[in-house]
Structure 1
Amino acid sequence: MKAITLDSKEDSKLLLTEVQERGLNEGEVRVSIKAAALNHRDEWCRQGLYPNIKDGVVLGSDGAGIVTELGDGVDQEWLQKEVIINPAMNWGENQKVQSASFEILGMPRNGTLAESVIVPADRLHTKPSHLTWEEAGALPLAGLTAFRALTSKGNIQLGENLLVTGFGGGVAQFAVQFGLALGAQVSTSSSSQEKLEKAKALGVTRVFNYQDSNWISQALADVKGFDLIIDGAVGDTLDQLIQVTKPGGKIVFYGATLGNPGKLEARKIFWNQLQIMGTTMGSDQNFKNMISLVCEKEIHPIIDRVFKFEEAEKAFDRMRDGKQMGKIVLVP
């Protein structure tokens, strides 16, 4: 089968090649991929910045397709079903934290950037009927991450003031859409005026350009502080987020693209009773609940661009350069 693999010998670190298909083990299924999508972890693998990476692995965590083959012990009803794949493997029973054997589809095991992928049958969910293949393929990882950040961690409530930073990336996009669906008063930030205009078109209440030195005072004047902030950057921006968090509020971060903070306003944190917490992906229950919300509210993921597998380098470069507005999708 045709697949996009990691290959350190290539200039692009990517190789579109033929990969030998294996047989199915008990409890596994083969899914013919109709659409897959990129996440930042795919680009980090390409740059050698992700742990335990190795050449020859098929990249990709997000995918949707049709079940074409069943292993022993799998319910026959799955055959020929249209599905999306939960890429969170081995979360475990503890809703608070993933197990020691937790991993994400696409590294170290083969992922979704291929004509087909083998996964345990318990990773399958019926594709929401209102989604196109491209939308369904874009949903899993970022949607799950955003949903857990908002609900299990952030416990967002109707009418609360929510700030989602860095609008344009996959998780931020879903956090905005889910926040609106759950009845929050949603604000977002970006350095791109085009992305901020897109956010307003979705129904976002207020937008802020974080490169504007006055954005903190503007936010405080407009909303008197946020009940919940969802962030994927951290770095020195954490101090800014602490300043605009309402007393008793929460900051939930799912990534640290800007690295560790240079300083931490500890006094403001304890005096204002703030909660700062991290989150990664989500449990099987989180995924199930996320799919329910997407179906109930008929949420459509924002698609940036769709590339053919042969254009993988262009797709990865677009993510690397931060040009996307929504999810970057690849199709066989």
Structure 2
Amino acid sequence: MDMKAAFLHGHGGNEVVAVGTRPVPGRPPGHVLVRVRAATVNRVDLYMRDSGAGITHQLPQIMGLDGAGTVEAVDADESLLRPGQPVVLHPGIGCGRCEFCQRGEGVLCVRMSLLGEHRDGTFAEYVSVPAGNVFPMPSGLSFTEAAALGVNHLTAWRMLFAQARLKPWESVLVFGIGGGVSLAALQLAKLAGARVIVTSRDDTKLERSLSMGADHAINGATTDVAKAVMAATGGRGVDVVFENVGAAVWSSAMKSLVRGGRLVTCGATSGDQPPADLRRIFIRQLQILGSTLGDFHEFRDLLGFVERTGLKPVIDSTYPLEQVHAALDRLESGAQFGKVALSIDSAALAP
């Protein structure tokens, strides 16, 4: 049986992204077949389209990291999941055997296999994943909103609370507000009680972030960010810097930290070789923390937090799967405020 999917058949631009039919994946024992209702577009989808360099994969490959939908088929003795149940997916499949998996840190797995990167992903009507990667969906969310939790909000959760250990009385500077992970950080940090300062080069995005609860907004195109942060904090600096931009903001990020402060990063879209500024690091005793995705227990905690607080991810726009090119263009433009999503309609399933 075939299904509708968006998949890569080469590398380049949107011409290598096709929407057509692919076989419905098999469901080995211990796996769950999920009928995908929504997914979101992430930066790595653009990277996989452009080159996928350094990521082991085979073409054709279905795109997409995150997703939400309903359980289609599951083992008869599965105790936590049932057919028809709304679920959300964790995109990382660990090996279960390396030292990191065995000590419960699957996010550090040396043979991690990610949906949409190393294996077929979620831009399809069905996906098959191990049962451990399937979590009950928080109530009150649409499938589109729930799908957004699996990458951006999980990444922000680990960055803020596991790596940077943000406390309710502390302050955090979030670079690049408007992007999915930065907006997730704003939402999570505010709900946790922290003071949040945001930056963008777009005044409209700054205004929208203030309406969402940001305490201070800085236009990085017209203002010296570090000086503005110091002015906003009485010359002290922030406890935590949250960034995924890299070289373009690194100097400002370092100068914005209080003594003993923590910088946590999950990306380098503007370059991965910033000046180290080692003197500042050791004299001011700063901490530099890297982070990607999150463990299963962190995802469970995040989903519980969403359930209790009523957090709803910000969705910029939603496209049908057939318009995946437009969705990729929207993300690539940088004009989005929140997640660019795909709605996946299973009505056209081929026999």
What TM-score does the superposition give when structure 1 sets the normalisation length? 0.96
Provide, for residues 154-175 of structure 1, a one-character-per-residue CA deviation record: whole Å limited to 9, x for no partner. 1000120111111111111111
Q: What is aligned with 1:225?
A: 237
Letter in 1 for 2:220: Y
With over 3 angstroms needed to count, the CA separation of the structure-2 counterparts of 1:146 and 1:76, relative to structure 1, is: closer
Letter in 2 for 1:270: F
Q: What is aligned with 1:302?
A: 314
With over 3 angstroms needed to count, the CA separation of the structure-2 counterparts of 1:24 and 1:262, relative to structure 1, is: closer
Letter in 2 for 1:54: Q
Letter in 1 for 2:132: D
1:90-105 alignment, distance < 5 Å: 90=94, 92=101, 93-95=103-105, 98-105=108-115
CA RMSD of aligned residues (A): 1.7
Q: What is aligned with 2:256?
A: 244
Letter in 2 for 1:169: G
CA distance in 1, matches of 2:106, 2:66: 23
What is the CA distance between 1:8 and its match in structure 2? Answer: 1.5
Residue 92 (structure 2) pairs with residue 82 (structure 1)? no
Do the aligned residues in 2 keep the contact of 1:237 with 1:261 (CA within 8 Å)?
no
**3-state secondary structure, aligned to 1:110:** coil
CA distance in 1, matches of 2:80, 2:299: 23
Q: What is aligned with 1:138?
A: 148
What is the CA distance between 1:210 and its match in structure 2? Answer: 1.2
CA distance in 2, matches of 1:77, 1:57: 27
CA distance in 1, matches of 2:241, 2:323: 36
Q: What is aligned with 1:264?
A: 276
- Choose from 158, 178, 185 the match for 2:168: 158
CA distance in 2, matches of 1:96, 1:28: 17
Q: What is aligned with 2:127?
A: 117
With over 3 angstroms needed to count, the CA separation of the structure-2 counterparts of 1:221 and 1:120, relative to structure 1, is: same
CA distance in 2, matches of 1:206, 1:118: 43
Provide, for residues 67-123 of structure 1, a one-character-per-residue CA deviation record: whole Å limited to 9, x for no partner. 011246534842211101111221723449611121221122111100111111111
With over 3 angstroms needed to count, the CA separation of the structure-2 counterparts of 1:11 and 1:43, relative to structure 1, is: closer
**3-state secondary structure, aligned to 2:323:** helix
With over 3 angstroms needed to count, the CA separation of the structure-2 counterparts of 1:49 and 1:11, relative to structure 1, is: closer
- Choose from 32, 35, 40 the match for 1:37: 40
Q: What is aligned with 2:349?
A: none
Residue 341 (structure 2) pairs with residue 329 (structure 1)? yes
- Choose from 200, 217, 225 the match for 2:210: 200
**3-state secondary structure, aligned to 1:117:** strand
Q: What is aligned with 1:5?
A: 7
Q: What is aligned with 1:28?
A: 31
Provide, for residues 38-87 of structure 1, a one-character-per-residue CA deviation record: whole Å limited to 9, x for no partner. 11111110111442243211110111101011246534842211101111
**3-state secondary structure, aligned to 1:62:** coil
Do the aligned residues in 2 keep the contact of 1:28 with 1:74 (CA within 8 Å)?
no
Letter in 1 for 2:241: I
**Fraction of identical pairs, as percent:** 30
Letter in 2 for 1:3: A
Tell me which stretches of 4 or more aligned residues in structure 1 moved more than 4 Å.
Answer: none
Q: What is aligned with 2:51?
A: 48
Do the aligned residues in 1 keep the contact of 2:63 with 2:121 (CA within 8 Å)?
yes
CA distance in 2, matches of 1:185, 1:149: 16
What is the CA distance between 1:9 and its match in structure 2? Answer: 7.1
Aligned residues: 332
CA distance in 2, matches of 1:71, 1:59: 26
1:251-290 alignment, distance < 5 Å: 251-290=263-302
CA distance in 2, matches of 1:119, 1:95: 19
**Runs of at least 5 residues in structure 1 that lack an aligned partner in the other structure:** none
**3-state secondary structure, aligned to 2:67:** strand
CA distance in 2, matches of 1:68, 1:155: 38
CA distance in 2, matches of 1:291, 1:47: 32
Do the aligned residues in 2 keep the contact of 1:159 with 1:184 (CA within 8 Å)?
yes
Does 22-31 or 259-268 show the bigger shift? Answer: 259-268
1:179-190 alignment, distance < 5 Å: 179-190=189-200
CA distance in 2, matches of 1:11, 1:210: 30
Provide, for residues 203-242 of structure 1, a one-character-per-residue CA deviation record: whole Å limited to 9, x for no partner. 1000111112433212111112010011001114211111
CA distance in 1, matches of 2:9, 2:178: 29
Does 17-26 or 226-235 show the bigger shift? Answer: 17-26
- Choose from 63, 69, 82 the match for 1:65: 69
**3-state secondary structure, aligned to 2:69:** strand
